[in-house]
Structure 1
Amino acid sequence: MSSASSAPRLPRAHPDVRVARVARFFEDLVPADLDRLGEIYSADAAFKDPFNEVRGLEAIRRIFVHMYAELDGPRFVVTQAVAEGDMAFLTWTFHFRSPRLQPQDVVVRGATQLAFDPHSGLVVLHRDYWDTGEELYARLPLLGAVMRWLRRRGSATQA
C-alpha cells in the first residue's frame, strides 16, 4: 500500500458496504456527525466498551459526546476489517490528547465486533475490545508504576 494519505485503506473500500460505511463514518467522525448516528446504528443498538454498556441511539450518542468533551483531537483509524454474514470485526487505533494522562498524543489499539441487522444493514451490536491496563491505566503517574511492576512480576520472561 502506498504511504500517500490519499491511498484508500482496505476497510474504507471493503467489499461489504456496511463495513465500509462504518469504517468511513468513524474515520471521518466529528462532533457534528453525532446527529447522524441513526445512519449507522439501529434505534435499539447495544454498545459495550471497557467503561460503558448501553442500549439505544441516545445512550450511544452520550458516549461520543463525553469523548469529545473529555479528550482533545480524538480520531479513529480503522486498520483492518473482516466480515462474514452479518458479523464484522474491525481493528483500529484511537488517537487523542489528554492533559490528565500525558501532554503528548496517546494511541490506543483495539478491535470492534459488529453485528448488522440483516434487513436494514444497521449496526445492532457494537462491542469494543481494548486493554485498559496497557493502553490507559499504565499512563497514569502512580497507577502506571504499579501496573509496570505487576507486569514485570507476572512476566514469564522475567530473569
Structure 2
Amino acid sequence: MKYDVTRENSTPMPLWLSNFVKIYQTLSTDNLELLATIYHREVTFIDPIHELKGFDNLFQYFQDLYENLVSCDFVISNVIAQEDQAAIYWTMSYQHPKLNKGNVINVTGSSYIKGYEDKVIYHRDYLDLGSMLYEQLPVLGKLIKLIKNKAAN
C-alpha cells in the first residue's frame, strides 16, 4: 500500500515533502523528468555506493540506474517529519535480469532528507547493500549469506 500524504489525523506535510513522497511512489523509467520537480539544483545525494552533488549528476545517476532495470518501485511505509527535514522508511522492489535469476528483489531502507526552497536539497539513503546487490550475485551471494549466518550464531 502506498503512503497516503493526506491521511486523516496526521500533521500536514510541508509541500516539498508531500511532493517527494508522491513522486517517489510513482517513479519509473518513463517519468524520470519528475525528479526535477522534487530535487533542488544544488542537491547532495548519498547512498552506500555514491556521493553526488548537483541535480544534473543525480539525474544522470537515475538514468543509468533505471536503464538496466526491468522494474523498480518504492513503497513508503512511514514518514517522520519536522519543518525542513524528514526520515522516510521504505521498501524498494526491483528486478534486474542479471540479479536473483531475474526475480524481484525487496530491500528495506530509510532516507534522511532536508528541504530547501520547496525541494529536497539533501538526500541520504541507508540500506543493506549486501541484500540489495552482493547477495543477489550467484557465487558471491552464497558466500555472503554463509558469513552472515556464521556471524549470527
- Tell me the TM-score normalised to structure 1 length: 0.84
Q: Report how far residue 127 of structure 1 moved.
A: 0.6
Amino acid at match of 2:131: E
Counterpart position of 1:36: 34
2:40, 2:119 within 8 Å by CA — same for their partners in 1?
yes
Q: Tell me the distance in 2 between the aligned counterparts of 1:125 and 1:148.
A: 33
Distance 1:153 1:99, change over 3 A: same
Counterpart position of 2:3: 9
Q: Report how far residue 79 of structure 1 moved.
A: 1.2
* CA deviations over 1:54-91 (Å, ceiling 9, x no partner): 11111110111012211111111111111012110111
Question: What are the ranges of 5 or more consecutive residues in structure 2 without an aligned counterpart?
Answer: none
Counterpart position of 2:104: 105
Q: Report how far residue 153 of structure 1 moved.
A: 2.0
Q: Does 1:124 align with 2:124?
A: no
2:34 is paired with a residue of what secondary structure?
helix
Compare relative contact order (CA 8 Å, sep 6+) and give the higher one, 1 or 2. 2
How many correspondences in the alignment? 147
Q: Tell me the distance in 1 between the aligned counterparts of 2:110 and 2:6.
A: 18
Q: Which has the larger radius of gyration?
A: 1
Counterpart position of 1:141: 138
Amino acid at match of 2:25: E
2:46, 2:123 within 8 Å by CA — same for their partners in 1?
yes
Q: Does 1:78 align with 2:72?
A: no
RMSD of the alignment, in Å? Answer: 1.7
Q: Report how far residue 32 of structure 1 moved.
A: 4.1
Counterpart position of 1:55: 53
Q: Tell me the distance in 2 between the aligned counterparts of 1:99 and 1:31.
A: 16
Map of 1:12-27 to 2, 5 A cutoff? 12-13=5-6, 15-16=12-13, 17-27=15-25
2:23, 2:34 within 8 Å by CA — same for their partners in 1?
no
1:19, 1:81 within 8 Å by CA — same for their partners in 2?
no
1:67, 1:74 within 8 Å by CA — same for their partners in 2?
no
Question: What are the ranges of 5 or more consecutive residues in structure 1 without an aligned counterpart?
Answer: none
2:22 is paired with a residue of what secondary structure?
helix
Deviating 4+ runs (over 6 angstroms): none
Q: Tell me the distance in 2 between the aligned counterparts of 1:38 and 1:9.
A: 21
Distance 1:139 1:31, change over 3 A: closer
